[in-house]
Amino acid sequence: MYVLFEGIDTCGKSTQIAMLNKVFDHVILTKEPGGTKFGVQAREILLQDSLSSKRAELLLFLADRAEHYTQVIKSNQDTLIISDRGFLSGIGYALANGDFEFNHLVELNKFALESHFPELIILFISNMETLKQRMGEKKLDGIELRGLEYLLSVQNHMEESLKKLDIPYLLIDATDSIENIHNIITKRIHKLF
């Protein structure tokens, strides 16, 4: 079972994933990009924000997604797989970068994922105040340096895209307490079994 955790940086995904790792036995934790050997290299390139072509950036994400699906998701479908980011982020960032069309992005991601979308997407929704506070506490990477408005635009595109897709999802208020969020997510994942 493939569960995708989505949201912009500092929204709390990593904290919740670490907590779930203690609740569920035999869970596979992974991430995009970075969940494979190729993904580690792709992540370094992407976080440097060194590509001048947004199409090249998109294609690198898609190449990582296809490799990640083959190595991690496809061979472990009988196990709970929790991924920190995936195709929804890819669509959100591509739309925020402009010059891309939603349906075309969905088709490209279907191709990369061999038409196997997650059984559940958990999307964390943050706000400007929380984002400012949490971003001030960390060193920013190349993508985060594009600005808070850019990140909130990515979040809006992810939420709008999610509502157009035929995939079960759960929206999480990232400003809620860590414990409340944990309880909501744990209950929802238990329902899938």
Indicate the domain borders of the chain: 2-192
Residue list, annotated binding site: 7-14
Angle between helices 13-23 and 178-192 (to 10 degrees): 50
Residues annotated in a binding site for ATP:
7-14
DSSP conformation letters of 24-85: STT-EEEETTTSSHHHHHHHHHHHHT--S-HHHHHHHHHHHHHHHIIIIIGGGTTS-EEEES
Cβ–Cβ under 8 Å, residues 130 and 151: no
Q: What is the DSSP letter of 176?
A: S
Q: How far apart are CA 190 and CA 61, in angstroms?
A: 30
The pLDDT assigned to 143 comes to: 61
pLDDT of residue 129: 86
* Residue 42 confidence (pLDDT): 93
Length of the chain: 193
**What is the signed CA dihedral for 30, 31, 35, 39, rounded to 10 degrees?**
170
**From first to last of its 193 residues, what are the pLDDT tens digits of the chain?**
999 999 998 899 999 999 999 999 999 999 999 999 999 999 889 878 788 898 998 999 999 999 999 999 999 999 999 999 999 999 998 999 888 999 999 999 999 999 999 999 999 999 988 887 877 766 655 565 566 888 999 999 999 999 999 999 999 999 999 999 999 999 999 998 7
CATH fold for domain 2-192: Rossmann fold (3.40.50)
pTM, two decimals, is 0.90
For position 126, what pLDDT does the model report?
Answer: 94
Distance CA 148, CA 183 (A): 29
Q: pLDDT at position 165, please?
A: 97
What pLDDT score was predicted for residue 128?
85
